Amino acid sequence: MFEENPVTAKDGTQVMTWYFEGDKDKPLILYFHGNTGLMARFAPAITKLTNEGYSVAMMEYRGFGNTKGKISQDVIFSDAVAFYDYYKNKTDNDKIIFYGYSFGCAFAMGLTQYRDPDGIILTAPFSSLYQEVKEYPVPLAFLVLKDKYPSDEYIKNIKCPILLIHGNKDMLIHHSHSQRLFDLAPVKEKQVVFVDGINHHDIFFKEHNLPVILDWLEQFN
């Protein structure tokens, strides 16, 4: 069962978070969900990690659920810092993993510019929202894109192990985005896994990424 913890953002907004306390000798996982639902939609798949003893915290975005406001790149990165700091101080876990799915990968990568994780998991990420919109069938939409969420720039500064997982039948975000991020990551401890025949939705919600994640997390236990 997750407990609710409102976190006070830099501007005073109460950002709702959910937290499950697992084993202290395992890393705390800060999870960033996709943009098409509330934390409750993504929680069932996340509970597979809590069943394995991992502590997990999730953050609700501005304009979603009980978190008021409007989402933007600057705001979400600032909220992610407050989220990290709150659980860094609240918990006794020695290591913290950033885990994003879909759009949430951009938030996880943005947080790396302000706080250093011990590991990063990205499931079905885009290399940047700019690049994703360029590939989307809306003519010249990328020319008016305000927030670019440039994970392909942020990843050049990471210093920790990173795992990327992508379905090779993803029609929303092409798996080449994960390959690009893998190629740009400057660390030796990096892995990219392409799951055959799996689309954007099923890679997470049908948990095709879970066995890979659980194997990868063993290095931190």
User: What is the secondary structure of 148-208 as a DSSP string?
Assistant: ---HHHHGGG--S-EEEEEETT-SSS-THHHHHHHHH---SSEEEEEETT--TTHHHHT-T
21: amino acid identity, one letter: E
Are the CB atoms for 121 and 100 separated by under 8 Å? Answer: yes
Are the CB atoms for 133 and 145 separated by under 8 Å? Answer: yes
pLDDT of residue 71: 81
Whether the predicted pLDDT of 140 surpasses 70: no
Query: Mean per-residue pLDDT for 120-149?
Result: 82
Whether the predicted pLDDT of 105 surpasses 80: yes
pLDDT of residue 146: 84
Query: Mean per-residue pLDDT for 99-117?
Result: 97
**Rg (alpha carbons) of the chain, rounded to whole number:** 16
Residue 104 corresponds to which tokens in the numbers above? 């949430």
Residue 179 corresponds to which tokens in the numbers above? 């390959």
Give the CATH number of domain 3-220; options: 3.40.50.1820, 3.30.2320.80, 3.40.50.1980, 3.40.50.300. Answer: 3.40.50.1820
Are the CB atoms for 203 and 195 separated by under 8 Å? Answer: yes
Q: What does the pLDDT look like over 164-201, one tens digit per residue?
A: 999 999 999 999 999 999 999 999 999 999 999 999 99
Whether the predicted pLDDT of 70 surpasses 90: no
User: Domain locations in the chain?
Assistant: 3-220
